[in-house]
Amino acid sequence: MKRLASIATFLLLFCFHSFAEEQVKVIDGDTIHIGKLKYRFSGIDAPEMKQLCNKDGKEVLCGVLAKNALIEKINNSPVTCKIEEVDRYKRLVAECFVREESLSKFLVKNGYAVAYRRYSMKFVDDENYAKENKLGLWSMAFEYPWDYRAKARAK
């Protein structure tokens, strides 16, 4: 039974899933649900929904900003995902695409998410571009999402 589950997981990991008919629900800046499946974007980390950033002395819900950018980018278009692994929360870790454009690359390059170097170096150049051009998060004071979560857990 365990071997069968391993084979099924292996097959899932190397498949592209295309969902032309299924509704995409954006949970936050790096997580979507398509049908009953939960996808966490690989190689990036977006601010948490309650996370505040500061722009010109004003507080901004930067997690909401990232979520809204993702909603606008998807804009009811079909989403295709390349699954890389299943995480400890049973989410499918994947790179997802709209019209063959990586949603992860879009989010990082426009400053709505950061490269998650702990897991991948794939989007570092995109982060550098956003940082150099002061796009999104890079136009304001912010905490890296992993630091924000660590502080929230410590409370």
Taking only the tens place, the pLDDT of each residue in 68-95 is 999 999 999 999 999 999 999 889 999 9
Q: In angstroms, rounded to a whole number, what is the distance separating the alpha carbons of residues 49 and 52?
A: 9
Our measurement of the distance from residue 30's CA atom to the centroid of its chain's CA atoms, rounded to an integer in Å, reads 2
The SS3 assignment for 62 reads helix
Domain count, the chain: 1
Is 70 exceeded by the pLDDT of residue 9? no
Of 151, 149, 146, 145, the closest CA to residue 47 belongs to: 145
**In this predicted structure, what is the pLDDT of residue 21?**
56
Q: In angstroms, rounded to a whole number, what is the distance separating the alpha carbons of residues 74 and 84?
A: 21
For residue 145, what are the domain limits? 2-154
**In this predicted structure, what is the pLDDT of residue 40?**
97
Which CATH number goes with the domain that contains 71? 2.40.50.90
Is 90 exceeded by the pLDDT of residue 11? no
